[in-house]
Amino acid sequence: MTDSAGPPDAKTFLLDLLQAALRAADPAQQILHHLPAPPKGRTVVVGAGKASGAMAKGLEAHWPGPLSGLVIVPHGYGAPTERITLVEAAHPIPDAAGQAAAARLMSLLDGLTEDDLVIALISGGGSALMTLPAPGLTLEDKRIVTKGLLLCGAPIQDINCVRKHLSAVKGGRLAAAAFPARLQALLVSDVAGDDPSVIASGPTVADPTTTRDALDILRRSKIEIPFAVSHFLKRPEAETPKPGDPRLARAHLSMIIRPSDVLVAAGERARELGVTPILLGDRIEGESREVARAFAGMALSAATYGQPAASPCVLLSSGETTVTVTGDGKGGPNGEFVLSAAVALNGAHDIAVLACDTDGIDGALGAAGAIATADLLPRGRALGLDPRAFLANNDSAGFLAPLDALIKTGPTLTNVNDFRAIYIPRI
């Protein structure tokens, strides 16, 4: 049904779409449609990630028999559970709590039989949380490599390729440890294309990448790495389980939420409010400020020429943009996207922009992202703030916070990548 009155104002409209997206990404609800059949033997639950606590809560509430297990979540992402233990650890830089919890988690897989079932609750963030260095490596080795790759703006696929080969859990090693039990992985995707070997570094699936790939990534990134890491990656035991490995024969998976699901939900809500949605896809990647300029150009085209749609319309997209940090300001990819788009639009046609990380954390003063209406830059300049200078310093939060333009949701207990909406009102 269409609301003939349309959206009350740009800010309210965009926040309404964000809420529709987050409702579609609720793991506790979506998991109900993907529960496996109970086994003859034990049911053991393991997992890690930003959405995994909510998944554990939903599983417990609807599982018909006994179960036990351990799931690792970031600080603040816990959920009330009775039979599944939730342990909080650091993200995105791994810590000792995550290492200890991962060791406990792997120990739960010892001695399982063909009659047992392992349910693995996997979501984005699991790589950092489920950190158990491969033999011969230390937690500090992994911390140095992870931090270096994050700071140089490496895409998540590259970061996870390296993580897999330095881990005793990732890249299919968890599934191999669970054999001969049946394993059912339930995944919430936070990556472009929903590749299960990339989500949380693929602990339950075969790894198509190689140690050579990991070494090439580290060379291209030009970051300093510990000698132990480069030495280990040249050894045969650093290689991960590959397709066809018999230890993965009883491992299966279901993708319970995808980034595309939130775009569809937001698009449906836009139509209800009389606005045409244009879904640009869930594979948008690249440097945040550059992607923002491209999307701003598309919005201006819609406003001026009615292409790709006549106003009122909204451009919806997902994916994961990155920031190559050269300044010393505070902000995240979504804040930088919003500020860059606002600069490119300069208030034209009252176009408004929202970008948020669906996990609730964009790295900027506890914000999930930001929203820019057409009056953002004039209000900033009235306070003596130069938006281009803040962009140059990677300090989107420094510009947006005084203008009350940051969006703070707190931990959402889900993670399906970034959500972006650019609203072109009726011209």
248-280 b/e (C-beta count within 10 Å ≥ 16 → b): bebbebeebbbbbbbbbbbbebbeebebbbbbb
Contact 419, 21 (CB under 8 A): yes
Average pLDDT over residues 133-162: 90
Average pLDDT over residues 35-47: 97
What would be the CATH architecture of the domain defined by 10-23+260-424? Answer: 3-Layer(aba) Sandwich (3.40)
Identical fold, 10-23+260-424 and 35-205+207-240:
no
What is the per-residue pLDDT for 150? Answer: 87
Q: Is 356 exposed, middle or buried (0-12, 13-18, 19+ CB in 10 A)?
A: buried
Dihedrals phi, psi of 32, to nearest 5 degrees: -60, -25
For residue 4, pLDDT over 80 is answered with no
What is the per-residue pLDDT for 6? Answer: 56
Q: d(Cα 177, Cα 189) in Å, to the nearest integer?
A: 23
Q: d(Cα 69, Cα 106) in Å, to the nearest integer?
A: 10
Q: d(Cα 299, Cα 10) in Å, to the nearest integer?
A: 14
For residue 147, pLDDT over 60 is answered with yes
What is the per-residue pLDDT for 5? Answer: 55
Residues 207-264 pLDDT 10s: 999 999 999 999 999 999 999 999 999 999 999 999 999 999 999 999 999 999 999 9
Beta strands 117-123; 251-257: pairing state = unpaired
Q: d(Cα 20, Cα 18) in Å, to the nearest integer?
A: 5
Residue at token pair 């992985």: 185
Average pLDDT, rounded, for the chain = 94
Q: Which residues contact 174 (CB under 8 A, 6 or more apart)?
A: 46, 106, 109, 120, 203, 204
Residues 284-335 pLDDT 10s: 989 999 999 999 999 999 999 999 999 999 999 999 898 888 888 888 999 9
What is the per-residue pLDDT for 1? Answer: 46
Q: Which of 324, 332, 323, 339 has the alpha carbon at shortest distance from 360?
A: 332
Q: Which residues contact 220 (CB under 8 A, 6 or more apart)?
A: none
- Domains in the chain: boundaries: 10-23+260-424, 35-205+207-240
> What superfamily would CATH give domain 35-205+207-240?
Glycerate kinase, MOFRL-like N-terminal domain (3.40.50.10180)
Residues 384-395 pLDDT 10s: 999 999 999 999
Average pLDDT over residues 108-124: 97
Give 3-state DSSP helix, strand, coil % of the chain, rounded to 5.
40, 20, 40
